[in-house]
């Protein structure tokens, strides 16, 4: 069990550029979650997958955000035309398929800075 990994750990970009983050969950965890954490706040839910199906998207996830999980393994989160308000820590978590009672295991996060 190597834990949840996220790449890159840090990303600095200019406003208007596109960025993509990757999350590799714990193997055999079929649920994968994305959260966003801004300074001084707790993480906020963005979206989650069960296998390759995206089951829920938060209203925080504007049309500029898209997430995929091809083949139910790793996931990518893309932000198009980045804005300064997108600067945040993007956290990925995974869990086994036993519903809300399961522990979600978090990765170290990707810190995005939009200049």
From 18-26, 64-72, 76-84, 98-106, give the range in contact with other proteins by CB under 8 A.
Answer: 98-106
From 21-29, 68-76, 79-87, 105-113, give the range in contact with other proteins by CB under 8 A.
Answer: 105-113
Which string of x and - marks every residue 11-40 that binds other proteins (by CB under 8 A)?
--------------------x-x-x----x
Please state, as a whole number, how many other Cβ atoms lie within 10 Å of the Cβ of residue 8: 13
The secondary structure of residue 70, as a DSSP letter, is G
Contact between 59 and other proteins per CB under 8 A: no
The secondary structure of residue 39, as a DSSP letter, is T
Least spacing, CB of residue 10 vs other proteins, in Å: 10
- When the beta carbons of 77 and 109 are compared against other proteins, the nearer one is 109
Residue closest to 48 by CA, chosen among 65, 28, 22, 69:
69
Residue closest to 110 by CA, chosen among 12, 2, 3, 1:
12
Contact between 52 and other proteins per CB under 8 A: no
Q: Are 75 and 25 in contact (CB under 8 A)?
A: yes
Q: How many residues bind other proteins (CB under 8 A)?
A: 26
Straight-line distance from the first to the last Cα atom of the chain, in angstroms, rounded to the nearest whole number = 36
Given candidates 19, 24, 48, 90, which one binds other proteins under the rule CB under 8 A? 48
Least spacing, CB of residue 3 vs other proteins, in Å: 8
């Amino acid at each position: 069990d190597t834990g949840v990994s996220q790449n890159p750990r840090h990303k600095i970009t200019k406003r208007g550029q596109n960025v993509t983050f990757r999350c590799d969950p714990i193997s055999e965890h079929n649920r994968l979650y994305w959260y966003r954490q801004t300074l001084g706040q707790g993480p906020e839910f963005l979206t989650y997958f069960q296998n390759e199906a995206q089951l829920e998207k938060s209203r925080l996830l504007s049309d500029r955000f898209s997430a995929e999980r091809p083949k139910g393994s790793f996931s990518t989160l893309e932000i198009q035309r980045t804005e300064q308000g997108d600067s945040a820590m993007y956290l990925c978590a995974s869990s086994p398929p036993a519903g809300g009672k399961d522990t979600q295991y978090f990765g170290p996060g990707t810190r995005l800075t939009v200049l």
